[in-house]
Chain A
Amino acid sequence: MSPEPLWTVFVNAALVNNFVLALFLGLCPFLGVSGRLETAIRMGTAVTFVMIVSSAAALGIDRLLIALDATYLRLIAFIAVIASTVQLVEMFIKKVSPVLFRALGIYLPLITTNCAILALVLFQTTKGYGLVQSLVYALGAGTGFTLALVLMASLRERLELAALPDLTRGTALALTLAGLLSMAFMGFGGLGG
Protein backbone atom coordinates (compact mmCIF):
# COMPACT_ATOMS: atom_id res chain seq x y z
CA MET A 1 0.00 0.00 0.00
CA SER A 2 1.40 3.36 -0.97
CA PRO A 3 1.84 5.83 1.92
CA GLU A 4 0.27 8.83 0.17
CA PRO A 5 -2.21 10.68 2.44
CA LEU A 6 -5.80 10.67 1.27
CA TRP A 7 -6.21 14.39 0.67
CA THR A 8 -3.22 14.56 -1.71
CA VAL A 9 -4.66 11.62 -3.61
CA PHE A 10 -7.91 13.52 -3.98
CA VAL A 11 -6.43 16.91 -4.88
CA ASN A 12 -4.01 15.29 -7.30
CA ALA A 13 -6.74 13.46 -9.16
CA ALA A 14 -9.24 16.31 -9.15
CA LEU A 15 -7.11 19.38 -9.84
CA VAL A 16 -3.38 19.01 -10.38
CA ASN A 17 -3.56 16.05 -12.72
CA ASN A 18 -7.11 16.69 -13.84
CA PHE A 19 -8.02 13.73 -15.99
CA VAL A 20 -9.43 15.79 -18.82
CA LEU A 21 -7.38 18.94 -18.88
CA ALA A 22 -3.95 17.69 -17.90
CA LEU A 23 -3.96 14.03 -18.91
CA PHE A 24 -6.20 14.22 -22.00
CA LEU A 25 -8.49 11.45 -20.82
CA GLY A 26 -12.18 11.25 -21.57
CA LEU A 27 -12.06 13.86 -24.29
CA CYS A 28 -14.85 12.38 -26.39
CA PRO A 29 -17.64 12.95 -23.84
CA PHE A 30 -15.88 16.16 -22.82
CA LEU A 31 -16.32 17.58 -26.32
CA GLY A 32 -19.50 15.67 -27.07
CA VAL A 33 -21.87 16.36 -24.17
CA SER A 34 -20.54 19.69 -22.97
CA GLY A 35 -23.08 21.64 -25.00
CA ARG A 36 -25.61 21.97 -22.19
CA LEU A 37 -24.97 22.48 -18.50
CA GLU A 38 -27.63 20.09 -17.24
CA THR A 39 -26.50 17.17 -19.39
CA ALA A 40 -22.92 17.86 -18.39
CA ILE A 41 -23.72 17.52 -14.69
CA ARG A 42 -25.62 14.27 -15.24
CA MET A 43 -22.88 12.84 -17.39
CA GLY A 44 -20.32 13.78 -14.76
CA THR A 45 -22.33 12.05 -12.06
CA ALA A 46 -22.76 8.89 -14.12
CA VAL A 47 -19.04 8.73 -14.91
CA THR A 48 -18.11 9.33 -11.26
CA PHE A 49 -20.38 6.50 -10.19
CA VAL A 50 -18.97 4.10 -12.78
CA MET A 51 -15.46 5.10 -11.74
CA ILE A 52 -16.05 4.33 -8.07
CA VAL A 53 -17.69 0.97 -8.71
CA SER A 54 -15.16 -0.21 -11.27
CA SER A 55 -12.29 1.01 -9.12
CA ALA A 56 -13.37 -1.25 -6.27
CA ALA A 57 -14.11 -4.16 -8.59
CA ALA A 58 -10.82 -3.83 -10.43
CA LEU A 59 -8.88 -3.84 -7.18
CA GLY A 60 -10.34 -7.21 -6.27
CA ILE A 61 -9.79 -8.62 -9.74
CA ASP A 62 -6.20 -7.44 -9.73
CA ARG A 63 -5.51 -9.29 -6.46
CA LEU A 64 -7.05 -12.39 -7.99
CA LEU A 65 -4.95 -12.11 -11.16
CA ILE A 66 -1.77 -11.69 -9.11
CA ALA A 67 -2.68 -14.74 -7.05
CA LEU A 68 -3.28 -16.73 -10.25
CA ASP A 69 -0.07 -15.35 -11.79
CA ALA A 70 -1.99 -14.16 -14.84
CA THR A 71 -1.25 -10.44 -14.90
CA TYR A 72 -1.08 -10.43 -18.71
CA LEU A 73 -4.87 -10.74 -18.61
CA ARG A 74 -5.13 -7.48 -16.69
CA LEU A 75 -6.21 -5.27 -19.56
CA ILE A 76 -8.85 -7.70 -20.79
CA ALA A 77 -10.19 -8.31 -17.27
CA PHE A 78 -10.39 -4.59 -16.49
CA ILE A 79 -12.23 -3.72 -19.66
CA ALA A 80 -14.71 -6.52 -19.00
CA VAL A 81 -15.31 -5.17 -15.48
CA ILE A 82 -15.91 -1.66 -16.80
CA ALA A 83 -18.26 -2.86 -19.53
CA SER A 84 -20.38 -4.76 -17.03
CA THR A 85 -20.49 -1.81 -14.61
CA VAL A 86 -21.67 0.45 -17.39
CA GLN A 87 -24.33 -2.07 -18.34
CA LEU A 88 -25.47 -2.11 -14.71
CA VAL A 89 -25.62 1.68 -14.49
CA GLU A 90 -27.48 1.79 -17.79
CA MET A 91 -30.17 -0.61 -16.54
CA PHE A 92 -30.39 1.29 -13.26
CA ILE A 93 -30.83 4.70 -14.86
CA LYS A 94 -33.30 3.35 -17.41
CA LYS A 95 -35.45 2.05 -14.58
CA VAL A 96 -35.11 5.00 -12.21
CA SER A 97 -35.09 7.97 -14.57
CA PRO A 98 -36.10 7.43 -18.20
CA VAL A 99 -35.69 11.17 -18.83
CA LEU A 100 -32.06 11.12 -17.82
CA PHE A 101 -31.64 7.93 -19.84
CA ARG A 102 -32.85 9.69 -22.97
CA ALA A 103 -30.81 12.82 -22.27
CA LEU A 104 -27.58 10.84 -22.04
CA GLY A 105 -28.48 8.84 -25.13
CA ILE A 106 -25.62 7.21 -26.95
CA TYR A 107 -23.11 8.62 -24.49
CA LEU A 108 -24.20 6.24 -21.79
CA PRO A 109 -22.98 3.03 -23.43
CA LEU A 110 -19.99 5.00 -24.64
CA ILE A 111 -18.84 5.40 -21.04
CA THR A 112 -17.38 1.94 -21.62
CA THR A 113 -14.97 3.45 -24.08
CA ASN A 114 -14.32 6.48 -21.89
CA CYS A 115 -10.59 6.22 -21.53
CA ALA A 116 -10.68 8.09 -18.22
CA ILE A 117 -12.16 5.05 -16.51
CA LEU A 118 -9.75 2.48 -17.88
CA ALA A 119 -6.89 4.88 -17.18
CA LEU A 120 -8.08 5.35 -13.61
CA VAL A 121 -8.09 1.62 -13.05
CA LEU A 122 -4.66 1.20 -14.63
CA PHE A 123 -3.14 4.12 -12.70
CA GLN A 124 -4.42 2.91 -9.35
CA THR A 125 -2.85 -0.48 -10.08
CA THR A 126 0.50 1.05 -11.04
CA LYS A 127 0.50 3.34 -8.03
CA GLY A 128 -0.33 0.43 -5.73
CA TYR A 129 -3.22 2.10 -3.95
CA GLY A 130 -5.14 0.24 -1.27
CA LEU A 131 -8.92 0.04 -1.12
CA VAL A 132 -9.60 3.37 0.63
CA GLN A 133 -7.01 5.19 -1.44
CA SER A 134 -8.46 3.75 -4.64
CA LEU A 135 -11.95 4.87 -3.74
CA VAL A 136 -10.76 8.38 -2.89
CA TYR A 137 -8.75 8.44 -6.10
CA ALA A 138 -11.82 7.44 -8.10
CA LEU A 139 -13.92 10.08 -6.34
CA GLY A 140 -11.27 12.71 -7.05
CA ALA A 141 -11.00 11.76 -10.70
CA GLY A 142 -14.77 11.80 -11.06
CA THR A 143 -15.00 15.20 -9.38
CA GLY A 144 -12.30 16.56 -11.66
CA PHE A 145 -14.05 15.18 -14.71
CA THR A 146 -17.38 16.69 -13.64
CA LEU A 147 -15.70 20.01 -12.85
CA ALA A 148 -14.08 20.21 -16.28
CA LEU A 149 -17.31 19.22 -18.00
CA VAL A 150 -19.37 21.79 -16.07
CA LEU A 151 -16.88 24.61 -16.70
CA MET A 152 -16.78 23.78 -20.37
CA ALA A 153 -20.55 23.55 -20.67
CA SER A 154 -21.07 26.92 -18.99
CA LEU A 155 -18.55 28.55 -21.32
CA ARG A 156 -20.15 27.02 -24.37
CA GLU A 157 -23.65 28.03 -23.33
CA ARG A 158 -22.52 31.63 -23.08
CA LEU A 159 -20.70 31.56 -26.38
CA GLU A 160 -23.76 30.22 -28.15
CA LEU A 161 -25.06 33.77 -28.52
CA ALA A 162 -21.75 35.40 -29.30
CA ALA A 163 -21.03 36.63 -32.80
CA LEU A 164 -18.37 34.29 -34.10
CA PRO A 165 -17.07 33.60 -37.58
CA ASP A 166 -18.69 30.48 -39.06
CA LEU A 167 -15.39 28.71 -39.41
CA THR A 168 -14.61 28.65 -35.72
CA ARG A 169 -17.95 27.21 -34.62
CA GLY A 170 -17.94 23.64 -33.34
CA THR A 171 -14.79 21.66 -32.85
CA ALA A 172 -12.23 24.42 -33.29
CA LEU A 173 -13.91 26.64 -30.72
CA ALA A 174 -14.34 23.80 -28.23
CA LEU A 175 -10.68 22.88 -28.57
CA THR A 176 -9.50 26.44 -28.05
CA LEU A 177 -11.67 26.74 -24.93
CA ALA A 178 -10.25 23.46 -23.66
CA GLY A 179 -6.75 24.79 -24.25
CA LEU A 180 -7.45 27.93 -22.22
CA LEU A 181 -9.05 25.91 -19.41
CA SER A 182 -6.11 23.57 -19.40
CA MET A 183 -3.74 26.52 -19.08
CA ALA A 184 -5.76 27.80 -16.13
CA PHE A 185 -5.53 24.38 -14.46
CA MET A 186 -1.74 24.52 -14.80
CA GLY A 187 -2.00 27.03 -11.98
CA PHE A 188 -2.81 24.18 -9.61
CA GLY A 189 0.62 22.66 -10.22
CA GLY A 190 2.53 22.00 -7.02
CA LEU A 191 -0.61 21.81 -4.95
CA GLY A 192 -0.82 18.57 -3.03
CA GLY A 193 2.81 17.63 -3.67
Chain B
Amino acid sequence: MEQPIPPDPTDAPVPLGEEFRKGVWRQNPTFVQVLGMCPALAVSNSARNALAMGLATTFVLVASNVAVSSLRRFIPRQVRITTYVLIIASFVTIVDYLIQAISLDLHRALGAFISLIVVNCFILGRAEAFASTHGVVPSFFDGLGMGAGFCWALLSIGAVREILGSGTLFGVQLFHDGFQGATVMLLPSGGFFTMAGWVLLLNAVEQRRSRRAAAAPLAAEGAR
Protein backbone atom coordinates (compact mmCIF):
# COMPACT_ATOMS: atom_id res chain seq x y z
CA MET B 1 0.00 0.00 0.00
CA GLU B 2 3.11 2.17 -0.05
CA GLN B 3 2.91 3.47 -3.57
CA PRO B 4 1.51 7.00 -3.42
CA ILE B 5 -1.43 7.68 -5.65
CA PRO B 6 -0.55 10.56 -7.99
CA PRO B 7 -2.62 13.65 -7.27
CA ASP B 8 -5.62 14.19 -9.43
CA PRO B 9 -4.52 16.05 -12.58
CA THR B 10 -7.61 18.22 -12.21
CA ASP B 11 -6.12 19.99 -9.20
CA ALA B 12 -6.83 23.37 -10.78
CA PRO B 13 -10.19 24.80 -9.72
CA VAL B 14 -12.88 23.09 -11.70
CA PRO B 15 -16.45 24.38 -11.93
CA LEU B 16 -18.55 22.54 -9.37
CA GLY B 17 -21.09 21.57 -12.01
CA GLU B 18 -18.32 19.68 -13.80
CA GLU B 19 -17.38 17.83 -10.58
CA PHE B 20 -20.97 16.72 -10.44
CA ARG B 21 -21.39 15.79 -14.09
CA LYS B 22 -18.26 13.66 -14.44
CA GLY B 23 -19.60 11.12 -11.95
CA VAL B 24 -22.90 10.89 -13.76
CA TRP B 25 -21.53 10.09 -17.19
CA ARG B 26 -17.84 10.22 -18.10
CA GLN B 27 -16.55 8.46 -14.96
CA ASN B 28 -19.74 6.66 -14.04
CA PRO B 29 -18.72 4.35 -11.18
CA THR B 30 -20.70 1.34 -12.34
CA PHE B 31 -20.69 1.39 -16.12
CA VAL B 32 -17.34 3.02 -16.85
CA GLN B 33 -15.11 2.29 -13.85
CA VAL B 34 -16.84 -1.05 -13.13
CA LEU B 35 -16.44 -0.55 -9.38
CA GLY B 36 -18.86 -1.36 -6.63
CA MET B 37 -20.41 -4.09 -8.68
CA CYS B 38 -21.55 -6.35 -5.88
CA PRO B 39 -24.44 -4.23 -4.62
CA ALA B 40 -25.18 -3.05 -8.15
CA LEU B 41 -26.02 -6.58 -9.21
CA ALA B 42 -27.17 -8.16 -5.99
CA VAL B 43 -30.00 -5.86 -4.96
CA SER B 44 -31.11 -4.75 -8.41
CA ASN B 45 -33.83 -7.37 -8.86
CA SER B 46 -36.45 -4.65 -8.41
CA ALA B 47 -36.43 -0.92 -9.06
CA ARG B 48 -37.43 -0.12 -5.48
CA ASN B 49 -34.55 -2.03 -3.91
CA ALA B 50 -32.17 -0.55 -6.45
CA LEU B 51 -33.26 3.00 -5.65
CA ALA B 52 -33.03 2.44 -1.89
CA MET B 53 -29.55 1.00 -2.24
CA GLY B 54 -28.52 3.87 -4.50
CA LEU B 55 -29.72 6.50 -2.04
CA ALA B 56 -28.09 4.77 0.93
CA THR B 57 -24.78 4.55 -0.91
CA THR B 58 -25.01 8.17 -2.02
CA PHE B 59 -25.52 9.30 1.56
CA VAL B 60 -22.50 7.34 2.78
CA LEU B 61 -20.42 8.56 -0.14
CA VAL B 62 -21.24 12.25 0.36
CA ALA B 63 -20.79 12.03 4.13
CA SER B 64 -17.50 10.17 3.96
CA ASN B 65 -16.17 12.44 1.21
CA VAL B 66 -16.91 15.51 3.34
CA ALA B 67 -15.45 13.92 6.48
CA VAL B 68 -12.29 12.70 4.76
CA SER B 69 -11.74 15.99 2.99
CA SER B 70 -12.15 18.06 6.17
CA LEU B 71 -9.78 15.74 8.07
CA ARG B 72 -7.28 15.38 5.27
CA ARG B 73 -4.60 17.49 6.98
CA PHE B 74 -4.77 15.46 10.21
CA ILE B 75 -4.72 11.92 8.85
CA PRO B 76 -1.20 10.43 8.81
CA ARG B 77 -0.35 8.93 5.44
CA GLN B 78 0.58 5.48 6.76
CA VAL B 79 -2.78 4.76 8.33
CA ARG B 80 -4.95 6.67 5.89
CA ILE B 81 -6.70 3.66 4.35
CA THR B 82 -7.63 2.27 7.75
CA THR B 83 -8.89 5.69 8.81
CA TYR B 84 -11.01 6.01 5.68
CA VAL B 85 -12.49 2.57 6.19
CA LEU B 86 -13.35 3.39 9.81
CA ILE B 87 -14.98 6.69 8.77
CA ILE B 88 -17.00 4.89 6.11
CA ALA B 89 -17.95 2.11 8.53
CA SER B 90 -19.32 4.65 11.02
CA PHE B 91 -21.60 6.22 8.42
CA VAL B 92 -22.73 2.81 7.21
CA THR B 93 -23.69 1.85 10.75
CA ILE B 94 -25.82 5.02 10.88
CA VAL B 95 -27.52 4.17 7.57
CA ASP B 96 -28.09 0.59 8.68
CA TYR B 97 -29.96 1.65 11.81
CA LEU B 98 -31.77 4.40 9.88
CA ILE B 99 -33.17 2.01 7.28
CA GLN B 100 -34.15 -0.42 10.00
CA ALA B 101 -36.13 2.40 11.64
CA ILE B 102 -37.79 3.53 8.40
CA SER B 103 -38.83 0.19 6.94
CA LEU B 104 -38.10 -3.24 8.28
CA ASP B 105 -39.26 -4.81 5.00
CA LEU B 106 -36.71 -2.86 3.04
CA HIS B 107 -34.03 -3.77 5.54
CA ARG B 108 -34.84 -7.42 5.08
CA ALA B 109 -34.84 -7.15 1.28
CA LEU B 110 -31.45 -5.47 1.16
CA GLY B 111 -30.09 -7.83 3.79
CA ALA B 112 -26.37 -7.88 4.37
CA PHE B 113 -25.77 -5.55 1.46
CA ILE B 114 -26.36 -2.48 3.61
CA SER B 115 -23.46 -3.45 5.85
CA LEU B 116 -21.49 -4.29 2.75
CA ILE B 117 -21.57 -0.64 1.63
CA VAL B 118 -18.43 -0.43 3.80
CA VAL B 119 -16.48 -2.47 1.31
CA ASN B 120 -17.96 -0.82 -1.75
CA CYS B 121 -14.66 -0.10 -3.41
CA PHE B 122 -15.66 3.06 -5.18
CA ILE B 123 -16.44 4.86 -1.91
CA LEU B 124 -12.93 4.10 -0.67
CA GLY B 125 -11.69 4.96 -4.16
CA ARG B 126 -13.25 8.43 -4.04
CA ALA B 127 -11.87 9.02 -0.55
CA GLU B 128 -8.38 8.13 -1.73
CA ALA B 129 -8.42 9.61 -5.23
CA PHE B 130 -10.47 12.73 -4.67
CA ALA B 131 -11.46 13.74 -1.16
CA SER B 132 -7.94 13.36 0.29
CA THR B 133 -6.57 15.94 -2.15
CA HIS B 134 -9.49 18.33 -2.55
CA GLY B 135 -11.43 20.81 -0.45
CA VAL B 136 -14.70 20.16 1.29
CA VAL B 137 -17.01 21.80 -1.26
CA PRO B 138 -15.62 20.06 -4.39
CA SER B 139 -15.58 16.78 -2.47
CA PHE B 140 -19.23 17.25 -1.60
CA PHE B 141 -20.15 17.74 -5.25
CA ASP B 142 -17.91 14.90 -6.34
CA GLY B 143 -19.68 12.58 -3.91
CA LEU B 144 -23.07 13.82 -5.03
CA GLY B 145 -22.21 13.27 -8.70
CA MET B 146 -20.74 9.82 -8.20
CA GLY B 147 -23.74 8.93 -6.05
CA ALA B 148 -26.13 10.14 -8.74
CA GLY B 149 -24.23 8.13 -11.33
CA PHE B 150 -24.42 5.05 -9.14
CA CYS B 151 -28.15 5.65 -8.55
CA TRP B 152 -29.10 5.86 -12.21
CA ALA B 153 -26.93 2.87 -13.08
CA LEU B 154 -28.58 0.81 -10.36
CA LEU B 155 -32.02 2.04 -11.30
CA SER B 156 -31.56 1.22 -14.97
CA ILE B 157 -30.40 -2.31 -14.16
CA GLY B 158 -33.16 -2.77 -11.58
CA ALA B 159 -35.89 -1.45 -13.88
CA VAL B 160 -34.95 -3.77 -16.76
CA ARG B 161 -34.80 -6.77 -14.45
CA GLU B 162 -38.10 -5.98 -12.79
CA ILE B 163 -39.93 -5.30 -16.06
CA LEU B 164 -38.69 -8.45 -17.80
CA GLY B 165 -38.68 -10.65 -14.72
CA SER B 166 -41.98 -9.87 -13.09
CA GLY B 167 -43.71 -7.47 -15.48
CA THR B 168 -43.90 -4.64 -12.97
CA LEU B 169 -42.11 -1.37 -12.33
CA PHE B 170 -41.92 -0.07 -8.74
CA GLY B 171 -44.56 -2.72 -8.00
CA VAL B 172 -47.03 -1.33 -10.59
CA GLN B 173 -48.24 -3.93 -13.05
CA LEU B 174 -47.32 -3.04 -16.64
CA PHE B 175 -48.71 -5.86 -18.74
CA HIS B 176 -51.95 -7.86 -18.93
CA ASP B 177 -52.68 -10.52 -16.33
CA GLY B 178 -51.39 -13.48 -18.33
CA PHE B 179 -47.85 -12.08 -18.57
CA GLN B 180 -45.22 -14.63 -17.71
CA GLY B 181 -42.01 -13.10 -16.47
CA ALA B 182 -38.65 -14.48 -17.53
CA THR B 183 -37.47 -15.94 -14.24
CA VAL B 184 -33.87 -15.84 -15.40
CA MET B 185 -33.92 -12.06 -15.03
CA LEU B 186 -34.61 -12.39 -11.32
CA LEU B 187 -31.89 -15.00 -10.84
CA PRO B 188 -28.29 -13.91 -10.36
CA SER B 189 -27.43 -14.61 -14.00
CA GLY B 190 -30.05 -12.07 -15.10
CA GLY B 191 -28.11 -9.40 -13.26
CA PHE B 192 -24.95 -10.22 -15.15
CA PHE B 193 -26.76 -10.28 -18.49
CA THR B 194 -28.58 -6.99 -17.91
CA MET B 195 -25.40 -5.26 -16.88
CA ALA B 196 -23.58 -6.69 -19.92
CA GLY B 197 -26.36 -5.34 -22.12
CA TRP B 198 -26.11 -1.84 -20.67
CA VAL B 199 -22.33 -1.79 -20.96
CA LEU B 200 -22.62 -2.84 -24.61
CA LEU B 201 -25.17 -0.13 -25.30
CA LEU B 202 -23.09 2.58 -23.61
CA ASN B 203 -19.97 1.38 -25.44
CA ALA B 204 -21.81 1.68 -28.74
CA VAL B 205 -22.99 5.21 -27.92
CA GLU B 206 -19.52 6.25 -26.80
CA GLN B 207 -17.92 4.74 -29.92
CA ARG B 208 -20.32 6.54 -32.24
CA ARG B 209 -19.66 9.78 -30.46
CA SER B 210 -15.87 9.47 -30.67
CA ARG B 211 -16.11 8.48 -34.33
CA ARG B 212 -18.21 11.53 -35.05
CA ALA B 213 -15.74 13.69 -33.12
CA ALA B 214 -12.89 12.25 -35.19
CA ALA B 215 -14.81 12.82 -38.41
CA ALA B 216 -15.85 16.40 -37.59
CA PRO B 217 -12.52 18.17 -38.35
CA LEU B 218 -12.23 16.26 -41.62
CA ALA B 219 -15.70 17.34 -42.66
CA ALA B 220 -14.84 20.97 -41.87
CA GLU B 221 -11.69 20.60 -43.95
CA GLY B 222 -13.73 19.25 -46.87
CA ALA B 223 -16.23 22.11 -46.67
CA ARG B 224 -13.47 24.60 -46.99
A residues bordering B, Cβ < 8 Å? 21-28, 31, 72, 75-76, 79-80, 83, 90, 109-110, 112-115, 117-119, 122-123, 126, 166-168, 171-173, 175-176, 178-180, 182-183, 186
A183 CA to B90 CA, complexed, in Å? 37
Is B180 interfacial (CB 8 A cutoff)?
Answer: no
Residue from the list B42, B86, B119 in contact with A24, Cβ < 8 A: B42
A110 near B121 (CB under 8 angstroms)? yes
The residue in chain B whose Cβ has the minimal distance to the Cβ of A23 is B42
- Name the residue on A nearest B35 (C-beta): A28
Question: B77: shortest Cβ distance to chain A, in Å?
Answer: 14
Q: Identify the stretch in B10-18, B53-61, B160-168, B200-208 within 8 Å (CB) of chain A at 4 or more residues.
A: B200-208
Nearest-neighbour CB distance to chain B for A131, whole angstroms, equals 21
| Complex CA distance for A23 and B204, rounded to whole angstroms | 29
Smallest Cβ-Cβ distance to A18: which chain B residue: B188
Which chain B residues lie closer than 8 Å to A110 at the CB level? 121
Q: Is B112 an interface residue (CB 8 A)?
A: yes
> What would 10 more interface pairs be, CB under 8 Å, given A79-B89, A110-B121, A118-B118?
A79-B86, A80-B82, A112-B85, A115-B120, A118-B119, A172-B196, A179-B189, A179-B196, A182-B189, A186-B189
User: Does B173 reach chain A (CB closer than 8 Å)?
Assistant: no
Chain B: interface secondary structure? helix
A176 and B86 contact, CB distance less than 8 A: no
Instruction: Tell me if A109 and B81 are in contact (CB < 8 A).
Output: yes
Chain B nearest CB, measured from A36 CB (Å): 18
Contacts A90-B1, A167-B203 given; indicate if A175 touches B193 (C-beta within 8 A): yes
B contact residues around A80 at 8 Å (CB)? 82, 85-86
5 A-B Cβ contacts within 8 A? Answer: A23-B188, A28-B34, A79-B89, A80-B85, A179-B190
Instruction: Find out whether the CB atom of A180 lies under 8 angstroms from the CB atom of B204.
Output: no
B187 touches A186 (CB 8 A): yes
Residues in A whose Cβ lies below 8 Å from that of B106: none
Q: Which of the listed residues B38, B92, B203 has the most CB atoms from chain A within 10 Å of its own CB? A: B38
Q: Indicate the member of A26, A80, A179, A183 with the most B CB atoms within 10 Å.
A: A179
CA distance A7 to B25 in the complex (A): 47
Could you tell me the distance between the alpha carbons of A113 and B122 in the complex, rounded to whole angstroms? 10
A109 touches B196 (CB 8 A): no
B119 touches A83 (CB 8 A): no
| Contact (Cβ within 8 A) A79 B85 | yes
Q: Whole-angstrom distance from the CB of B97 to the nearest CB of chain A?
A: 8
CA distance A152 to B39 in the complex (A): 20
Q: Take A24-B41, A31-B34, A83-B82 as given contacts and tell me if A178 and B119 are in contact as well, using a CB distance cutoff of 8 Å.
A: no
Q: How far is the CB of A80 from the nearest CB of chain B, in Å?
A: 7
| A104 → B minimal CB distance (Å) | 12
